[in-house]
């Protein structure tokens, strides 16, 4: 008879890779086949060390800026999007580049451009320093956009023309936090123009709603994701806000602090949009070494979104 304790695992669905991440990884893989190694990638293609290390082993070279890319080799821009200056620099050097920017991030870029063309000052709700925010702000001339990170920022914002504002958002934010910020902005600036369709992407939305479902029934939740992954960090915050205080972000099974799971009988597991399913399976296997495990899945919705590859790789 086993002396292991019983552990019920609830898997959130959807979890893990989204269509934009699938597309970005496939772009690197197909570029390696078409051009041969090395293929250069500006920044991490997605925020996940396991994914980046695997692609590096296949021949991808990750660099911070284009000045580290030699002449005559292809370069790929990450899924988070880049300032306009980056493709302009690539073109000036006659580098062949493939843009792996998520189409839903590109949609935010085009929205910002439309507002700017209409003469509006744009408020970008997002996190300073995140590559997506840097890329979005880099679509327009300096001073065209003001970053709003918090409710306090929204409360204290002073603008020259309150009648001439629009806002866009980072695609990987907390739905609840962003809704509160938007509410403050709309209360203070009733004429502010809103996006035609919500900027927070379907994958972020679905993963946050799914983790809310399991948070009500779990003693603890493990979120698989990278420390620099915005959408993964938001999942931890959402789970805690729903009442599951023992919610933590882990990159791999080896990173789990098992002492924090002592005494639990139900463990929720989800994964950020950049985390592959193999890492979820790794965590379940690690749990099986310590517990008598039963696994069930709680499904919010099944995703079937796909995005086209760049024309250079279309086959």
Positions annotated as catalytic residues are 132
Q: Is residue 89 part of an annotated ligand binding site? A: no
Q: Is residue 183 part of an annotated ligand binding site? A: no
What are the tokens at 293?
């495990």
Burial label for 254, CB within 10 Å (0-12, 13-18, 19+), is exposed
Q: Is residue 201 part of an annotated ligand binding site? A: yes
What's the Cα-to-Cα distance from 226 to each of 65, 204, 295, rounded to whole Å? 21, 15, 24
- Asked if 172 contacts 201 with a C-beta cutoff of 8 angstroms, the reply is yes
Q: Is residue 244 part of an annotated ligand binding site? A: no
Matching residue, tokens 């099986």: 288
- Asked if 88 contacts 111 with a C-beta cutoff of 8 angstroms, the reply is no
What are the tokens at 50?
């396991």
Q: Is residue 171 part of an annotated ligand binding site? A: yes
The span from the CA of 140 to the CA of 163, in Å, is 20
Q: Is residue 187 part of an annotated ligand binding site? A: no
Q: Is residue 47 part of an annotated ligand binding site? A: yes
The span from the CA of 217 to the CA of 207, in Å, is 16
Q: Which residues contact 81 (CB under 8 A, 6 or more apart)?
A: 101, 102, 105, 106, 109, 131, 132, 135, 136
What is the Cα Rg of the chain in Å?
Answer: 21
Crossing angle of helices 175-188 and 202-215, rounded to 10°: 120
The span from the CA of 211 to the CA of 225, in Å, is 14
Count of residues in the chain? 315
Cis amide leading into 14 (omega within 30): yes
Matching residue, tokens 């890329």: 135
The span from the CA of 236 to the CA of 239, in Å, is 5
Residues annotated as binding site for dimethylallyl diphosphate?
47, 80, 130, 229-231, 274
Binding positions for [4Fe-4S] cluster are: 18, 102, 201
Binding-site positions read 18, 47, 80, 102, 130, 171, 201, 229-231, 274
Q: Which residues are known binding-site members for isopentenyl diphosphate?
A: 47, 80, 130, 229-231, 274
């Amino acid at each position: 008879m086993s002396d292991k304790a019983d552990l019920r695992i609830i898997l959130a669905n959807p979890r893990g890779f989204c269509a934009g991440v699938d597309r970005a990884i496939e772009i690197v893989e197909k570029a390696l086949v078409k051009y041969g190694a090395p293929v250069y990638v500006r920044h991490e293609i997605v925020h996940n060390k396991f994914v980046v290390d695997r692609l590096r082993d296949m021949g991808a070279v990750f660099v911070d800026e284009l000045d580290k890319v030699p002449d005559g080799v292809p370069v790929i821009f990450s899924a988070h999007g880049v300032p306009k200056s980056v493709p302009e620099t690539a073109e000036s050097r006659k580098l062949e580049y493939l843009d792996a920017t998520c189409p839903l991030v590109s949609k935010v870029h085009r929205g910002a451009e439309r507002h700017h063309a209409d003469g509006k000052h744009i408020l970008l709700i997002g996190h300073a320093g995140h590559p997506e925010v840097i890329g979005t702000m880099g679509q327009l001339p300096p001073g065209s956009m003001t970053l709003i990170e918090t409710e306090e920022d929204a409360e204290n914002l002073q603008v020259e023309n309150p009648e001439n504002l629009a806002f866009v958002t980072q695609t990987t934010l907390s739905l609840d936090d962003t809704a509160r910020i938007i509410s403050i902005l709309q209360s203070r600036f009733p004429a502010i123009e809103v996006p035609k369709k919500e900027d927070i992407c379907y994958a972020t939305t679905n993963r946050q709603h799914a983790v809310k479902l399991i948070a009500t029934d779990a003693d603890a939740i493990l979120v698989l994701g990278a420390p620099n992954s915005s959408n993964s960090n938001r999942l931890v915050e959402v789970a805690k806000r729903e009442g599951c205080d023992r919610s933590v972000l882990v990159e791999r099974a080896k990173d789990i602090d098992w002492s924090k799971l002592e005494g639990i009988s139900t463990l929720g597991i989800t994964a950020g949009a950049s985390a592959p399913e193999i890492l979820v399976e790794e965590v379940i296997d690690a749990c099986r070494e310590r517990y008598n495990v039963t696994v069930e899945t709680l499904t919010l919705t099944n995703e079937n979104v796909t995005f086209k590859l760049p024309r250079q790789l279309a086959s």
